[in-house]
């Protein structure tokens, strides 16, 4: 009779032996009553594990989860839309600032002159005014847009 294969019986029942090991177990069990009995015990245990009772997620849990995910997706979509809207607003505002400066110059009849001479004090003050306004608006937007990680969390 070949050597006992006790150490391999658990994994044999779990179908987790290599081909050579499985063959060894099979051959030994055919001629060893003690190992055959133990192999049968392990097989019953493995079968029991495969049939073990288990809970399924309740309908309440599933619907609560779906709602939470939908809410998270809506937040994500809103954030993306907000980012796009902010980008558009910034580009639009800068365009308007430049255009209004040109229009102002045109209306005051100084555009042609300004094209031929360095930037004067009026234009410098105007530019400083626009930059200061944008910096203030940027800081305000950053403060308002700050979100703590907990704010977006869904219970």
Contact positions vs other proteins (CB under 8 A): 10-11, 13-16, 41-42, 44-46, 48-58, 61-62, 64-66, 68-70, 72-73, 76-77, 154
For the CB of residue 65, give the shortest distance to other proteins in the complex, in Å.
5
Closer to other proteins by Cβ: residue 44 or 147: 44
Minimum CB–partner distance for residue 124 and other proteins (Å) = 47
- Give SS3 for 62: helix
List the alpha helices (DSSP H) in the chain. Answer: 6-13, 19-31, 33-50, 59-107, 111-115, 121-145
For other proteins, which is the closer residue by CB, 28 or 105? 28
SS3 state at 29: helix
In the complex, minimum distance from the CB of residue 68 to other proteins, in angstroms, rounded to a whole number? 6
Residue with smaller CB distance to other proteins, 48 or 109: 48
Asked whether the beta carbons of 11 and 17 are under 8 A apart, the reply is yes
Q: What does the alpha-carbon distance between residue 154 and residue 65 come to, in Å, rounded to a whole number?
A: 10
Q: Which is nearer to other proteins, 78 or 135 (CB)?
A: 78
Contact 71, 154 (CB under 8 A): yes
Least separation in angstroms between CB 128 and other proteins: 43
């Amino acid at each position: 009779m070949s050597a006992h294969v006790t150490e391999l019986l658990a994994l044999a029942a779990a179908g987790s032996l290599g081909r050579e090991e499985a063959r060894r177990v099979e051959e030994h069990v055919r001629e060893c009553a003690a190992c055959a009995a133990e192999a049968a015990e392990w097989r019953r245990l493995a079968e029991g594990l495969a049939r073990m009772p288990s809970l399924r997620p309740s309908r309440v849990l599933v619907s609560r989860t779906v709602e939470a995910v939908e809410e998270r997706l809506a937040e994500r979509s809103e954030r993306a839309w907000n980012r796009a809207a902010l980008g558009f607003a910034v580009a639009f505002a800068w365009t308007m600032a430049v255009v209004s400066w040109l229009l102002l110059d045109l209306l005051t009849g100084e555009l042609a002159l300004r094209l031929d001479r360095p930037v004067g004090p009026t234009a410098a003050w105007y530019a400083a005014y626009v930059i200061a306004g944008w910096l203030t608006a940027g800081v305000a937007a950053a403060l308002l847009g700050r979100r703590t990680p907990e704010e977006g969390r869904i219970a």
